[in-house]
A and B are shown apart, each in its own frame.
Chain A
Amino acid sequence: MSSPARSAPRSAVQHSSARAAAIPEGTRDVLPPEWAQREHLRARLVEVFGAWGYRGVELPALEYASANHPQDARAFKLIDSGGQVLALRSEFTTAMGRLVQSRFPAGPFPLRLQYGGRLWLRALTSELGRLREFYQVGVELIGVATPQADAELLHLAAAALRAVGVSAQLEVGYPGFVDAVLEDAGLHGEARDALHDAIDRKSGADVDLLARRGGLSAEVTRTLHALTDLYGGPDVLDTAQALAQGERARDAVAHLRTVAGLYSGPLLFDLGVSRRYGYYTGITFRAYADGLNQPVLGGGRYALEGGLPGAGFAVGLERLTGVLAPTLPPEPEVVLALDLAGAALARAAGLTAELAWTDDRAELHAFCMARGIKRMVQGETFTAVDGAEA
């Protein structure tokens, strides 16, 4: 029944093929039924994005490496035949900026695009329990920077997650707010960078340490501490307003109020978020799913290469599939068709039909048992597989 290769001693097989069976750290094979679950979710998200006017584009996985790329230090590099250094795509936003600049220089704006595909990061993120090859789908709303545009992305993020059955909480941040408050406190250069980092980690102890080192006043230190506690419901905006001295900080709070008003649904805020504050030019946002300690969606507003305003978000399909797998409808029953007529009948009834490849009934029966197939079909007649649980 089994082939000679399959009946070889297990240890010998493992020894000789250990290398061939290995895959690089941080990559993974996607098997059934996960593949189908992931495709189902991808299709649902793509459909929602499409209905909101976001047209799909496909981007090359190979790019010219550039020191200006935000993920340059973490991207996989290859040498092209002409000697140029290429990088495997490590994020979509930069690639979308390049595409818009060369393919849609005159818009029309706002330009709504969606993308999907794999990304690769060389850095040892597998050490962090994260993948080095992963799949994202996402959208970009390009050419406009109004509060309405920000609110549209929040609405779309919520709609997309609703469509796949995630009850999510959206949280909005504004890294430029922290920067503005630090600027108003007279902080510059390295001291400012270090405080950004401490505030983003909500580390009161590090804020104190840096404040002592920099000789900051008690009042400024209190303000910095307040930034580390600036998260929660809409009342956060009132606290932020009281902290905002200069125009930039006040404008940020006013912008957030307008966006929150346009969104109208419940929002969380965290005005202590200051990761990549030099990259984000406006809001940032994330979606948290109940009971899951990792965000399922993230995005924000930035300036594309060439200066066009852009904003968007991305969804990591691995994590989303992991969260939603238990809630997805089961795949249709698989039956073994002994002839084409039977297969057509089964498929017309919404079942999946695999074709028999031999007349050897014993072999077919053994396959059904191994594959978990409970019924065979021939012509118009279904028969239960002997010994299979009904």
Chain B
Amino acid sequence: MTPAPTRTPDHLTLALPKGRILEEALVLLARAGLPLTMPEKSRALRHEFPGITLLELRNQDVPVYVDLGVADVGIVGKDVLIESGRAVYEPVDLRFAACRLSLIREIGASGTIGRVGTKYPRAARAYLNAQGIPAEIVKLSGNIELAALTGLADAVVDLVQTGGTLRANNLEEVDVLFESSARLVVNRAALKLRRERLRPLIERLRELVAADQLV
């Protein structure tokens, strides 16, 4: 790990999730004027750029780092943000990594929903309560669709991007909980203390996203 150098008062610490969002986020932030490049493949988890420290995290950890103020700014999917329950500012919808969190069942299933498998227990609980469905929730870690196919659960709540996996497995979306996409999240104090740096960044990102939508 690279040692943390001495920092100027307007130094920014940026939390990004590993993987696909990282690449798109870096491209967008670089277009918005931040001096960032894709870090070379290495085992480093922290990367230093002029005036910016980049932390590479698991996506569920991005809201934690930003809420507790270890990072000033982050980029994370709305799905993860809702599930985290963290009180961070989310001033820009960056529109990429679009997907939706849906209630999914085997095609034709019509029995009552007694048990729901999901990676999103908080969002699933809120949805089921709002719908008045008194179902048990089973927290799972991956290949959630299998729960509906094997009878572990009567339905699952999971992300849908193209729907390809559902079609291939005889599953269908019964309802959409919410639409998700990547969001810029900002620590509540950092937005105020570093507003000279963050406000222009927010403005620039909004302009870029709006321009991209027109293409």
Contacts and interface: CB of A to CB of B under 8 A. Distances in A.
Interface of A: 128-129, 169, 171, 201-206, 208, 228, 231-232, 268, 270, 288, 290-295
A208 B199 CA distance: 20
B90 A203 contact: yes
B67 interface: yes
A129 B189 CA distance: 16
How extensive is the interface on chain B, given as a class?
Answer: 20 to 34
Contacts of B193: 169, 288, 290-291, 293
Contacts of B191: 202, 231
14 contacts: A128-B67, A171-B192, A203-B89, A203-B183, A204-B91, A204-B92, A205-B90, A205-B183, A208-B93, A232-B199, A270-B192, A293-B70, A293-B190, A295-B189
A102 to B, nearest CB: 35
Nearest to B87: A201
Nearest to A291: B9
Contacts of A291: 9, 193
A291 B192 CA distance: 11
Contact of B195 (A203, A206, A232): A232
Nearest to A293: B69
Given A169-B193, A270-B192, 9 more contacts: A201-B87, A201-B89, A204-B206, A232-B199, A288-B193, A290-B9, A290-B193, A291-B9, A295-B189
Indicate the member of A171, A203, A206, A293 with the most B CB atoms within 10 Å: A293
Interface in B157-192: 181, 183, 186-192
Nearest to B86: A128
Sorted nearest first, the 7 A-B pairs with minimum C-beta distance are A293-B69, A205-B93, A202-B89, A203-B90, A293-B189, A293-B187, A129-B68
Contact of A292 (B87, B88, B189): B189
Given A128-B67, A129-B64, A202 B192 contact: no
Contacts of B119: none
A201 B88 CA distance: 6
Contacts of B195: 231-232
B91 A268 contact: no
B105 interface: no
A171 B190 CA distance: 13
B145 interface: no
B138 to A, nearest CB: 20
A290 B195 CA distance: 13
A201 B90 contact: yes
A135 to B, nearest CB: 19
A223 to B, nearest CB: 17
A228 B187 contact: no
B196 to A, nearest CB: 10
A290 B9 CA distance: 8
A201 to B, nearest CB: 6
Nearest to A203: B90
A287 B183 CA distance: 27
B93 A288 contact: no
Given A202-B89, A205-B183, A294 B69 contact: yes
Interface in B74-106: 78, 86-93
A243 B67 CA distance: 30
A22 B97 CA distance: 43
Contacts of A288: 189, 192-193
Most chain A beta carbons < 10 A, residue from B78, B93, B187, B206: B93
Contacts of A293: 68-70, 72, 187-190, 193
B28 to A, nearest CB: 16
Contacts of B9: 290-291
Nearest to A268: B192
A11 B181 CA distance: 49
Contacts of B93: 204-205, 208
A253 B1 CA distance: 50
Given A201-B90, A204-B91, A205-B183, A169 B68 contact: no
Contacts of A290: 9, 193
Contacts of B78: 205
B9 to A, nearest CB: 7
A294 B189 contact: yes
A208 B193 CA distance: 27
Given A129-B68, A205-B78, A205-B183, A169 B91 contact: no
A232 B91 CA distance: 15
A155 B51 CA distance: 35
B190 to A, nearest CB: 5
Given A231-B195, A290-B9, A203 B189 contact: no
A155 to B, nearest CB: 20
A128 B67 CA distance: 8
Nearest to B72: A293
A188 to B, nearest CB: 20
A129 B90 CA distance: 20
A203 B183 CA distance: 9
Contacts of A169: 192-193
Contacts of A204: 91-93, 206
Contacts of B89: 201-203
Among B88, B181, B193, max chain A CB count under 10 A is at B193
Contacts of B86: 128
